[in-house]
Amino acid sequence: MSYARSAHATFANMLGTLDHLVGKAQDAGMADDILGHKLTKDMFTLELQFRVALNQVLLALNQVAGMSLSLEETTYRSLSEVRERIEAVRSHLDQSDPTEWSCADDRVDLTLPNGIRFMMSSEDDIRDWIMPNFYFHVTMAYALLRHAGLTVGKMDFLPHMARHRLAAER
pLDDT digits (tens, 9 = 90+) for 116-170: 999 999 999 999 999 999 999 999 999 999 999 999 999 999 999 989 888 766 5
Fold entry, domain 3-162: Four Helix Bundle (Hemerythrin (Met), subunit A) (1.20.120)
Average confidence (pLDDT) over 16-23: 98
pLDDT at 82: 98
Asked if 122 contacts 2 with a C-beta cutoff of 8 angstroms, the reply is: no
CB atoms near residue 34 (< 10 Å): 19
Rounded (to 5) percent helix, strand, coil in the chain: 65, 5, 30
Average confidence (pLDDT) over 51-76: 96
User: Is the confidence at residue 1, as pLDDT, over 90?
Assistant: no
Among 42-46, 100-104, 164-168, whose mean pLDDT is lowest? 164-168
The rounded percent of the chain whose pLDDT value lies above 90 is 92
pTM attached to this predicted model: 0.94
Mean pLDDT of the chain: 95
Q: Where are the chain's structural domains?
A: 3-162
Asked if 93 contacts 85 with a C-beta cutoff of 8 angstroms, the reply is: no
Ordered DSSP codes for 75-101: PP-SHHHHHHHHHHHHHHHHH--GGGS
- Three-state SS for 44? coil
The rounded percent of the chain whose pLDDT value lies above 70 is 98
Q: Which of 7, 38, 14 is nearest to 156 (CA)?
A: 14
Distance CA 52, CA 81 (A): 15
Q: Which of 18, 48, 6 is nearest to 157 (CA)?
A: 18
pLDDT at 170: 56
User: Is the confidence at residue 94, as pLDDT, over 70?
Assistant: yes
Distance CA 25, CA 95 (A): 28
Average confidence (pLDDT) over 49-58: 98
